[in-house]
Structure 1
Amino acid sequence: MCIVFIKTNPNPKNGEYRLIIASNRDEFYKRPAKKAFLCTDSKIIGGRDLEENRENGMWLGLRIDEKKQTLRFGSLLNVTGEEKNTNVQSRGFIVPNYLKAKESTVQYFENLLKNAEFNAFNLVAVELNKKEVSVYFLSNTPIQICKFHGEQTLGFGNSPVNRPLTKVRNGRHRFEDVVQTSKSKEELKDGLLKLLKSNERNLPDPELQRRAPQAYEQLSSIYVEIKKTYGTRTHSIVLVDKDWNVEFYEDTMESPINPDNIVWGNSVIKSSL
């Protein structure tokens, strides 16, 4: 399970942001991963999967092209409750391949659907440049491509975009409230982190109950924890201010994860367009 909230504003006032992203990654604690870093070769920022045969896959990341003055962001969300096939490609390379792709976002989406088969996923993408900011959504179950222009507050999770989970709907409203009421960057980051760490259950949720009947109550909170084996292990926040300063903030469980003694570590990577 994962969740991502996005606020876009192409024409921010002083103290406002062009782009705000807050996201959680939920995964088994035993799955090895590397914390977020900037790869100097590819200019990609984000954590990496270290599981055997899936090394360097990504669940979330961004790439800044300083020459073209563009930022590209991608987040992969599995679709819960759909049939899984072992004879398909790994979804973990969808994000890094998108970040490195030369074609447009829509062209990448179309080529992805045409040339490869994957288990059910949602892909959330953002394109930011000096003229505009756009959010794109792709799902292969069912096949759907959406584009959102201009100023938007959006939330995405592990179900089709037209059937959002209750925690996505409720979380989007709380996300918007944090953005509107925060008076400084630190207050904004603290408020977003508090939201991402919320263990309040968002029930009832018939859609989640249908998709995950055995664990829907535990999965109904934004911050997930199930029997010390699975749960939210990484929080990511991306901020792009009016002056095009970019900050990638990550708060993540230090690996290897000991469920009886979890240690959190954070890192900040800064850049500009």
Structure 2
Amino acid sequence: MCIVFIALQQHPDYPLIIAANRDEFYARPTQSSHFWPQSPTILAGKDLKAGGSWMGITRSGDIAALTNIRDPSREQPSAGSRGALVADFLTRPRAISDYCRHLRKTVNQYNGYNLLFGNYQQLAVFNSHTQSLQQLAPGFHGLSNARLNTPWPKVTRGTDALANYVKHSNNLYASEIFRLLADDTPALPDQLPDTGVSKAWEQRLSPIFIRTPEYGTRSSTIIMISKDANVDWYEKVFPSQATSARQNVESHHFSWKIQHK
């Protein structure tokens, strides 16, 4: 998962909206979102190489989503798969404070990441580089490959677009949120962050929706949870080397009412 936008308690009908793109190498084998047979309360996609996931939710409203922190100077080739953290939390959901302690104990086992986790009523983001935990306050948030709400052009662009749509719409539609996730506008050269990769790669990675010959946005996912605790999970899966965010798309929709523990 490369970018996540969140609207928390900003619409009277949908107190939680999460919209996210997963960016990955096309060669990495992936299974689209489904209820896992071995853990049937979990809805998530699956990384078929390492067995973890990038984003998921349980029937009782526990949520986890992952973004990598981009810093090549600190990459460890032998580190574990960060997607295991999403699977671990969703398999055995814990209080935010308890799981934060676990994350701090295991932080050296993984390359840099942000983990958004909690339940639909209370979410937090753990940053592994700073080992800090930030509770999400009501409002609009953006998370990419740095800290929460770091004002990279694509983070600001997507957060502002979600805020504008949610604030000015009585009725919300996933199709409109998918539209903002499909924004492939690159950042201007003088606005690019410096994360340790070449300027050419910074430019390729600067849109919300990424397309390069070998790497790009593999899927877009939206979670909309209503005031009545109804969950709608929408997913679009894009083919390798997609020429457009709207061509040859595989779509999935799951809906249910949260089952309280």
Give distance in 2, aligned partners of 1:171 and 1:64: 28
Change (3 A) 1:89 1:217: same
- 1:250-273 Cα offsets, whole Å, 9 max, x none, are 00025xx36579631000011112
Q: Secondary structure at the match of 1:4?
A: strand
- Preserved contact between residue 30 and residue 45 of structure 2 (Cα < 8 Å): yes
Give distance in 1, aligned partners of 2:94 and 2:106: 15
Deviates more, 1:109-118 or 1:74-83: 109-118
Q: Secondary structure at the match of 1:27?
A: strand
1:100 Cα deviation after fit: 2.0
Q: Secondary structure at the match of 2:86?
A: helix
Aligned residue for 2:201? Answer: 215
Amino acid in the other structure paired with 2:159:
R
Q: Secondary structure at the match of 1:211?
A: coil
Aligned residue for 1:176? Answer: 163
Decide which of 45, 64, 80 is 1:74's aligned counterpart: 64
Aligned residue for 1:46? Answer: 44
Change (3 A) 1:245 1:259: closer
Listed as ranges, the matches of 1:29-178 within 5 Å are: 29-39=26-36, 41-51=39-49, 54=50, 56-65=51-60, 71-82=61-72, 83-115=74-106, 117-128=109-120, 133-149=121-137, 151-161=138-148, 163-178=150-165
- Preserved contact between residue 141 and residue 160 of structure 1 (Cα < 8 Å): no
Give distance in 2, aligned partners of 1:91 and 1:164: 24
Listed as ranges, the matches of 1:230-241 within 5 Å are: 230-241=215-226
Q: How many residues are aligned here?
A: 252
1:167 Cα deviation after fit: 1.0
Change (3 A) 1:45 1:104: same
1:178 Cα deviation after fit: 1.5
More strand by share: 1
Aligned residue for 1:27? Answer: 24
1:242 Cα deviation after fit: 1.8
Amino acid in the other structure paired with 1:19:
L
Unaligned runs of 5+ in 1: 66-70
Change (3 A) 1:184 1:162: closer
TM (norm. structure 1) is 0.84
Q: Secondary structure at the match of 2:94?
A: coil
Give distance in 2, aligned partners of 1:202 and 1:259: 20
State the percentage of identical aligned residues.
Answer: 27
Change (3 A) 1:59 1:18: same
TM (norm. structure 2) is 0.88
